[in-house]
Amino acid sequence: MPEAAPSPGVAQWHAQRGQLTALAYRMLGQWAQAEDVVSAVGEQILSMDPATATGVRRWEGYLRTLTTRRAIDALRSVQQQRTEYVGTWLPEPVDQALLPEDAVANESMLRLGVLFLLEELSAPTRAAYVLHHGLGYSSSQIANVLEMKPAAVRQMLSRAARK
């Protein structure tokens, strides 16, 4: 019996997996944790109701939104765990040769110093910063992802740049 063709969402998830992992890594600072987030997004897509899946117009944006929101949740959880750690936390560096080619295009976002500075930002602020500077999202697009007003996102980006 022939195997059924994957749904458009699953196919897009497979195609975007490297970029989604790079996005989650930029936010989380740990490659394994980023892969976990992207896997959870894949599970969510696999278990999605077919009626809901047909309502998705742009899978790329939908997958990035899901990844961003799951990474924010993971960040909040990790930040609560780190409050008990007394030392300085540094993100784990990743050999850039292991990253997908498109994710390496913006090397400055992957430098250890930038990751360390991003660690100082709150989870939504970090997400906004990465989406804006790393992926070129506009304030209104980020506002849709974070469920905020565009003016609030612009203010958040301004504060992040000052910090």
Which ranges of the chain have pLDDT less than 70? 1-6, 79-116
Whole-model pTM over 0.95:
no
13, 26, 24, 163: which is closest to 106 by C-alpha?
A: 26
CA–CA separation, 32 vs 43, rounded Å? 16
Instruction: For the chain, give the longest Cα–Cα distance.
Output: 60
Q: What is the pLDDT, as a whole number, of residue 50? A: 82
Q: What is the pLDDT, as a whole number, of residue 151? A: 93
* Angle at alpha carbon of residue 123, lines to 117 and 127, rounded to 5°: 80
Q: What is the pLDDT, as a whole number, of residue 104? A: 47
- From residue 74, alpha-carbon distances to 10, 21, 23, 152 in Å are 22, 14, 13, 22
